[in-house]
Structure 1
Amino acid sequence: MAVAAAASNALSSVMQREANRKRSEETFGLRLLGSLVRQPAWLVGAAAMLASFLLQAGALSRGELSSVEPVLVLELPMTLILASAVLHHHLLLRDWAGIVTMTAGLVLFVALLSPSGGDAAHVSALVSLLATVGTAAGIAALTAFAAAGPARSRAALFGVAAGSGFGLTASLIKVAMARLSAGGVVGLFTAWQTYGFAVTGVASVVLIQAALHAGTLVAAQPGITLFDPLVSLLWGTVVLGETVSTSVSALALAALGAAMIAGSVMVLARSSQRAAELADR
């Protein structure tokens, strides 16, 4: 289900980037958002994003936050493959090498850390609230820096803010799904996290539109791809009490896997840039 969520996110990124590219001359704001929602490409992307949220919720109801969210980094190679098919852009050998390396790094990272346990249903309300406020404050700061900073850094900063927002949303979904399992529909709708993830999810969608409008995928996608699982991993281990392997060898190999993922993101993001340039011709 997490892989399917990543695929839906990939479709969403390609279609929404296409919609934003056609409005690149407009200033980002409510007027632009209003014009985007009337474009068929954007609507397809929005539907794919909704499907991704539902699939992600299903995955989080069955697995640990720390193991589900890292799988979503597969969104980037899937985005590249889909953009290649849509834009008739041939993948190079290094692109395929990056895809294979990222996949291997992901398997290494999740398998070696081996997340387990946690008790999202009984997490302290105060701890959950403080973690939400702290994460939201960081996202707000990133958004402010992006809006006020130089144009060349806006897409990257908005991307980091959007990725962090999706990580926060996934964390709140995990708690809400635990409330659903423990208390049924009543438990779901009496949990403030249910309304919290609705708000942060919408805010993250707006931030990703800002990132995709401010620049190309090469600038925006690394932050979106990496900070979602990073924030989720921190929430899983610090807030929800999930445990990971702490042996020196496991941590060293997990760090190697993380480095493989990060390096692959940079290689594949450059390929996303080439695809975007091809689309602009």
Structure 2
Amino acid sequence: MTVLAAAVALVGSLFFALGAALQQFEAASGGEFSLRVLLRRPRWLLGGAAITVGGALHIFALSLGPLTVVQPMGVASLLFALPIAAALHGRRPGRSELAAAAAVSAGLIGLVLMVPKSTAPPHLTGADGTAMLAGAALTALVCWAVAGRVNPAPRTALLAVAAGVMYGVTATLIRVLVEGTSWDLWLLAAIPLPALAALMLLQRAYAIGHFAVAFAALQVSDPLTAVTFGALLLGEPLPANGLAATAAALLAAAGTVALARTTPLSR
């Protein structure tokens, strides 16, 4: 069952990578950019369907095997996404790009393996939830403001980080809703807010053209946000070896910076 769980998670990563690459291709294709316009494009919608399938397969994999096996397979989506996106734009990824992507994946795998799983059911009060949403929104606004003043590669990274923060908040709310012993109606009402904001920010990042940078920054910021809020608000444990966890996060961040220097604009 563990081998089957790893295989299902790996296929899920492939679907997630394909969906992300398709959506970026459409977002960076030029012309008028808005979520309303993207929703009219069949290829962008196909990308969304692929991401949904990938997420469903990942959840199914978690029901078959342990988190320590399934999560690293999910991180592999970057290694799938890079060549898929390059092929869509009519080129081959360079060795330096693949090496940087491998560094991001290795750092994330190390990080997710070091985060201990909490045994207590999560619970989030209304006040804590409001503080979490406000903090995430402020972080996203700062990233958005700074992104307007920098070059394309760091702009892409900042917008993707903002999206990752909002996705991390969304994941935290969903986890409390699904795994908690009790939940309030406000949780259900609050989930679409950060999810929609994350979707719009990510498409803005994709539209700039540095797909690898956007996807890597998203993969780094999303779990870091979820782990941070889990520790601050849900009482979940942090990695026992803080130095090793920091080194893993820095490796993932360094890989993202390397991608910004080696991956060409795709528009």
Size of the aligned set, in residue pairs, is 259
Q: Secondary structure at the match of 1:242?
A: coil
Pairing of 1:65-84 with structure 2 (within 5 A): 73-84=75-86
d(CA) in 1 for partners of 2:156 and 2:236? 33
Which of 20, 26, 32 is the aligned partner of 1:19?
26
Task: Indicate whether 1:239 and 2:233 are aligned.
Answer: yes
Task: Name which of structure 1's ranges 98-107 and 234-243 shifts more when overlaid on structure 2.
Answer: 98-107
CA offsets, 1:185-223, max 9 Å, x none? xx5xx5422222222112211111111123422553343
The answer (yes or no) to whether the contact 1:72–1:229 under 8 Å persists in 2 is: no
In the TM superposition, what is the alpha-carbon distance from 1:234 to its structure 2 partner?
A: 0.3
What is the CA–CA distance in structure 2 between the aligned matches of 1:232 and 1:63, rounded to whole Å?
A: 21
Measured at CA, do residues 115 and 3 of structure 1 come closer, stay the same or move farther in structure 2, by a change above 3 Å?
A: farther
Query: Separation in 2 of the partners of 1:233 and 1:178?
Result: 16
- Kindly indicate whether the alpha-carbon contact (under 8 Å) linking 1:66 and 1:237 is maintained by their aligned counterparts in 2: no
- From 187, 210, 217, the counterpart of 1:193: 187
2:247 partner letter: L
Partners of 2:10 and 2:234 lie apart in 1 by 23
Aligned counterpart, 1:140: 141
Equivalent-residue separation in structure 2 for 1:260 and 1:267 (angstroms): 10
For 1:63 and 1:194, locate their aligned partners in 2 and report how far apart those are by CA, in whole Å: 28
Paired residues of 2:164 and 2:221 also in contact (CA < 8 A): yes
Aligned to 1:40: 42
Q: Which has the higher contact order (CA 8 A, sep 6+)?
A: 1
| TM-score normalised per structure 2 | 0.77
Following superposition, the deviation at residue 94 of structure 1 comes to 3.7
- Structure 1 residues 140 and 61: CA distance shift in structure 2, 3 A: farther
Matches of 1:79 and 1:101 in 2, distance apart?
15
- The superposition leaves residues 34-84 of structure 1 with CA deviations (integer Å, 9 ceiling, x where unpaired) of 322222211111222333454566678999999988875433222103224
TM-score using structure 1 length: 0.74
* 1:154-188 CA distance string (max 9 Å, x none): 43332221111111111111111114xx46xxx5x
Match of 1:261 among 252, 255, 263: 252
8 A contact 2:132–2:169 mirrored in 1: no
8 Å contact from structure 1 (residues 65, 174) kept in 2: no
Cα distance in 2 for partners of 1:104, 1:154 equals 24
Change in CA separation of 1:60 and 1:132 when aligned onto 2, cut-off 3 Å = farther
Identify if the C-alpha distance between structure 1 residues 269 and 155 changes in structure 2 by more than 3 Å, giving closer, same or farther: closer
3-state secondary structure, aligned to 1:116: coil
Matched residues in 2 for 1:58 and 1:126: separation?
Answer: 33
Q: RMSD in angstroms over aligned alpha carbons?
A: 3.6
Output the CA distance in 1 between the equivalents of 2:64 and 2:234.
15
- Structure 2 gaps of 5+ residues are 1-7
Higher normalized helix content (fraction of residues): 1
